[in-house]
Amino acid sequence: MIYKDIETTTDEVLEFIKNAGIDIETTSDVNAFRIRMPNDSIVEMPPDFNVFGDMSLFTITGSYSYNYSFIEGTDNNYTSGNLSERYDNRIDPCRYIPAA
């Protein structure tokens, strides 16, 4: 295979997604992500939380602050915040659950 940089657009990707029968309208609730933490507690994510973004820094109000890098597959790095507990293991993306 010839490896090349892939350029695409949102419209192009959505065309394939819609052709596969995925209804964007019913899965567009981007304002309410929830995450299941390793201790099984569930917390609400900020509205601008980018699930697979590069090093998205976000704060879970009042408790935790992490750097995430799913792209590079590194562990979550403790950064700052009022931590009552530190999780050393990467949070598996599969733990993300869609908002109800």
Q: Which residues bind another protein (CB under 8 A)?
A: 1-4, 6, 8-14, 16-17, 19-22, 24, 27-30, 33, 50-53, 70-71, 93-94, 96-99
| Cα-trace Rg, the chain | 16
User: Minimum distance from CB of 40 to another protein (Å)?
Assistant: 16
Handedness of CA 44, 47, 49, 52 (dihedral sign): positive
The residue among 19 and 89 lying less far from another protein, judged by its C-beta, is: 19
Q: How far apart are CA 60 and CA 62, in angstroms?
A: 6
The residue among 46 and 80 lying less far from another protein, judged by its C-beta, is: 46
